[in-house]
Structure 1
């Protein structure tokens, strides 16, 4: 068969594009909700951070998760909590924000290595192919990463807002004010999506694919 595999590749590409657009649209909508309900979002994020800290402590005490990595996770979430002091505005050069971004990657690396090493040790001790390894399955590992490693940083990324002039200077910490006295701010996700769409539109105009008065 020659045509069917090509159809499969084409379908995979189209499906990936639709999935990407669906995720981007969902994040855009969530960012708008946070802009409209900032107080509720701050309260929910704060409680979420405390809940995950408690969950990590339970996993350490009951299921025997490593103490060092648990302490790393708890300290990371305490630092994430520090980003709430000026919520939802963020200065991208703030050392606390930069530290939070680094800790996300550090936590992912060490927890991934922990689960990988645990699986290797468990499989090496099997005496028969019928023995069942005493390690977390894929669903449990993925759930831990989703809830205890990525959920809070992802929620913060969606919730934090940037000033309307944050690009390209990234220099202002306080929201700018328009002529009618209202704060002008924009969610980081919305800012990124709008910037990408503007760049695509500019490339399309330069290539002659669309007229200058057309919009996405």
Structure 2
């Protein structure tokens, strides 16, 4: 077969492109919602952080999850909660914001190693290749834990927070001091929107340089 593999490759590329566009559109729309409903978003995010802390405590007490990893997860969400003090505005050089970025990676690596080691240990004790250990979480359970307890709050913060450089001077004293004298009146823009707009502008510039479109044409 020669043609079918090519069709499969083209379908994979198209599927990846459509998935990327769908994610970007979703991020843009969520960022718009947060900008319009800041107070509600702050309340929901704060309660979500407390809810996940309770889940981690219950997992540690009832399901015997490792104490130190649970403590790491709870401490990480306390740091995430610190980003809510000036929600939705954040300075990209804020120590709490930088610590949050590091803790996302640390939590992901730590819990991935924990579940991998637990699964390897469980399968090492089985007597037959066809035997399935009873004491290991399923893929759905592990994926759900990562999605809710590790990634959900950082992802929500990424969608919700606005970079401090784009904040109205009257709404953020730090930005006001930096912007004093230049008459800047730019509206605060979420980081997700900044990322999507940056990627769109970069693709547009590539199109202009390649001669596919004029500079004054839309995306």
- Relative to the length of structure 2, the TM-score reads 0.90
1:184 is paired with a residue whose SS is coil
Any gaps of 5 or more consecutive residues in structure 2? 168-172
Partners of 2:152 and 2:17 in 1: how far apart? 24
Q: 1:14 to 1:207 in 2, by over 3 A?
A: same
Which residue matches 1:65? 65
**In 1, are the aligned partners of 2:159 and 2:190 still within 8 Å (CA)?**
yes
- Alpha-carbon distance in structure 1 between the residues aligned to 2:111 and 2:10: 35
Aligned to 1:83: 83
Aligned residues: CA RMSD = 2.2
* Structure 1: gaps spanning 5 or more residues: 167-171
Residues 99, 164 of structure 1: CA spacing in aligned structure 2 closer, same or farther, 3 A cutoff?
closer
- Name the counterpart of 1:132: 132
Q: Look up the match of 1:47.
A: 47
Q: TM-score, structure 1 length as denominator?
A: 0.91
Partner deviation per Cα, 1:79-98 (whole Å, 9 max, x = no partner): 00000001000100011100
- Equivalenced residue count is 210
Q: Which residue is equivalent to 1:153?
A: 154
Aligned to 1:199: 202
Mapping of residues 1-216 of structure 1, within 5 Å: 1-133=1-133, 134-163=135-164, 165=166, 173-174=174-175, 184-216=187-219
**CA distance in structure 1 between the aligned counterparts of 2:161 and 2:203, rounded to whole angstroms:** 25
